[in-house]
């Protein structure tokens, strides 16, 4: 039996079956490449859901991690540390925000934003106690905590986990009229992804975010943007919402914020909103620890490079044009869409994307499907163009030859 099979079988025997990974066991990484336990090299077109935006084992990130780990690690927020204050200063400066609140995972950061919205709704807007409403979008993915699945429209995420939180409402994504109809005097916040990643790289209509922000301003509702997957240069801007020239009240960050090596997330935004928290309202043992702050500072400095963002913008436009040209006559393709280096190739549901993803693995390209019908393409932002081309040629090869089964 191969080492790959042995390790997969052991995980299936001893671990919970809450994931369905592609059948490869990874053992090493560097830059835009991953190696499995058998020594085979792959081009990474997944980017760990945008976490590995700087590539794997970036030398400056690793150097910072090791140096800080040897000096000061985790002391909790019971004390100040010398890394968190400069990290807060840098992040708020880059975000054009007043304050930032550090956490660990993206889901924790979203929960933090929703707690802020609820307390702001009661203490500032004057919504009666326990009556706040939060509006999200159909197809959203903000995480899988009990609070966040209460806002989800994916049946599997909600089934058998009730009772769910009250006051959570959803409207069709990209529909500003539906949003306006849904807002009531009890609405504290509207939360939206500028591109829905897990839903299949869904890009809203032009002008949608501006209309949504205007409605929130009109009705005194917090405009909250989830940039966990789309932020930090992924779409060719520091934040994806900057394409639409909006100014959210709160922005939620994660994934790439930790440089690909450490879990770091944050909520950044208005000081009067984040300021509703008082000592004891919220917290995190690991959030804002010295290692997290040091690693994230280095990641922020690298990801905020204007030359990197300009390159991502150019490379993304080239990649989409390449795919659209090569796949324009492919019988199974339904759409090619995205922004920057966050691109989705939607295929006919009759064939599905998982079998194509599995075939890409045999060609030395690793990625994952979204919602069963979209091939997700989100490589490290510093991938060399020749390696991106190799990966896209593999994608076009497997998609072009795919055929919808004849019933």
Rounded distance between C-alpha atoms, residue 105 and residue 75, angstroms: 18
386 is catalytic: no
Nearest to 189 by CA among 179, 199, 197: 179
Last residue of a domain, one of 303, 338, 369: 303
- Domain boundary (278, 303, 328) is at 303
Q: What is the pLDDT of residues 88-120, one digit of tens each?
A: 999 999 999 999 999 999 999 999 999 999 999
Quickly count: other Cβ atoms within 10 Å of residue 230's Cβ: 29
In 93-242, DSSP assigns E strands to 99-103, 133-137, 168-171, 187-192, 222-226
Q: What total of structural domains would you count in the chain?
A: 2
Along the 407 residues of the chain, how does pLDDT read in single tens digits? 899 999 999 999 999 999 999 999 999 999 999 999 999 999 999 999 999 999 999 999 999 999 999 999 999 999 999 999 999 999 999 999 999 999 999 999 999 999 999 999 999 999 999 999 999 999 999 999 999 999 999 999 999 999 999 999 999 999 999 999 999 999 999 999 999 999 999 999 999 999 999 999 999 999 999 999 999 999 999 999 999 999 999 999 999 999 999 999 999 999 999 999 999 999 999 999 999 999 999 999 999 999 999 999 999 999 999 999 999 999 999 999 999 999 999 999 999 999 999 999 999 999 999 989 999 999 999 999 999 999 999 999 999 999 988 76
CATH of the domain at 318: 3.90.1150.10
pLDDT tens-digit readout, 277-292: 999 999 999 999 999 9
- Is the same domain home to 76 and 107? yes
**Both 172 and 281 in a single domain?**
yes
Same domain, 120 and 253: yes
Helices 354-362 and 385-400 cross at an angle (nearest 10°) of 130
Q: pTM for this structure?
A: 0.98
Instruction: Please tell me which residue in 211, 255, 298, 368 is annotated as part of the active site.
Output: 255
165 in the same domain as 92: yes
Within this chain, do residues 276 and 313 fall inside the same structural domain, yes or no? Answer: no
Are residue 76 and residue 35 in the same domain, yes or no?
Answer: no
- Give, as one character, the DSSP assignment of residue 124: I
190 is catalytic: no
CB 147 within 8 A of CB 160: no
Residues 165 and 259 in one domain: yes
Judge if 261 and 184 occupy the same domain: yes
Closest among 198, 200, 167 to 184, alpha carbons compared:
167
Active site residue 141: yes
Domain for residue 405, yes or no? no
User: Could you list the residue range(s) of the whole structural domain that residue 238 is in?
Assistant: 59-303
* HSE, side-chain direction, 13 A CA sphere, residue 85: 4
Claim to verify: residue 35 and residue 175 sit in the same structural domain: no
Of 44, 119, 141, 211, the active-site residue reads 141
Q: Which of 286, 303, 320 is the last residue of a domain?
A: 303
Same domain, yes or no, for 246 and 191? yes
Same domain, 187 and 274: yes
Active-site option among 226, 244, 313, 369 = 226
Task: Tell me if 406 is assigned to some domain.
Answer: no
> Could you tell me if residue 407 is inside a domain?
no
């Amino acid at each position: 039996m191969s080492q790959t099979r042995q390790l997969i079988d052991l995980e299936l025997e001893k671990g919970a079956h809450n994931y369905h990974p592609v059948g490869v066991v990874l053992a090493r990484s560097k830059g835009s490449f991953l190696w499995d336990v058998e020594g085979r090299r792959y081009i990474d077109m997944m980017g760990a859901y945008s976490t590995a935006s700087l590539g794997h084992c970036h030398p400056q990130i690793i150097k910072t991690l090791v140096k800080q780990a040897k000096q000061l690690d985790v002391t909790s927020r019971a004390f100040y540390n010398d890394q968190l204050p400069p990290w807060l200063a840098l992040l708020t400066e880059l975000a054009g925000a007043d304050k930032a609140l550090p956490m660990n995972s993206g889901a924790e950061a979203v929960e933090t934003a929703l707690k802020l919205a609820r307390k702001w709704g009661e203490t500032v807007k004057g919504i009666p106690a326990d009556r706040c409403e939060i509006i999200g979008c159909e197809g959203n993915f903000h995480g899988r905590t009990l609070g966040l699945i209460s806002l989800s429209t994916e049946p599997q995420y909600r089934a058998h986990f009730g009772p769910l939180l009250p006051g959570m409402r959803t409207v069709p994504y990209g529909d500003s009229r539906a949003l306006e109809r849904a807002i009531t005097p009890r609405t504290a916040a509207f939360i939206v992804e500028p591109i829905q990643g897990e839903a299949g790289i869904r890009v809203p209509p032009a002008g949608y975010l501006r209309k949504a922000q205007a409605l929130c301003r009109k009705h005194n509702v917090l405009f909250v943007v989830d940039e966990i997957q789309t932020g930090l240069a992924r779409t060719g801007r520091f934040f994806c919402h900057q394409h639409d020239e909006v100014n959210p009240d709160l922005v939620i960050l994660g994934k790439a914020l930790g440089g690909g090596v450490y879990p770091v997330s944050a909520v950044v935004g208005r000081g009067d909103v984040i300021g509703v928290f008082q000592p004891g309202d919220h917290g995190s043992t690991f959030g804002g620890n010295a290692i997290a702050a040091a690693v994230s500072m280095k990641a922020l400095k690298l990801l905020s490079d204007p030359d990197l963002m300009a390159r991502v913008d150019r490379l993304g436009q080239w990649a989409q044009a390449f795919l659209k040209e090569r796949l324009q006559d492919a019988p199974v393709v339904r759409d090619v869409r995205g922004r920057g280096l966050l691109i989705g190739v939607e295929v006919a549901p009759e064939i599905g994307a998982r079998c194509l993803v599995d075939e890409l693995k045999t060609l030395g390209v690793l990625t994952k499907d979204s919602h069963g019908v979209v091939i997700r393409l989100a490589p490290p932002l510093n991938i060399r163009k020749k390696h991106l081309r190799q990966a896209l040629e593999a994608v076009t090869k497997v998609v072009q030859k795919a055929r919808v089964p004849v019933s």
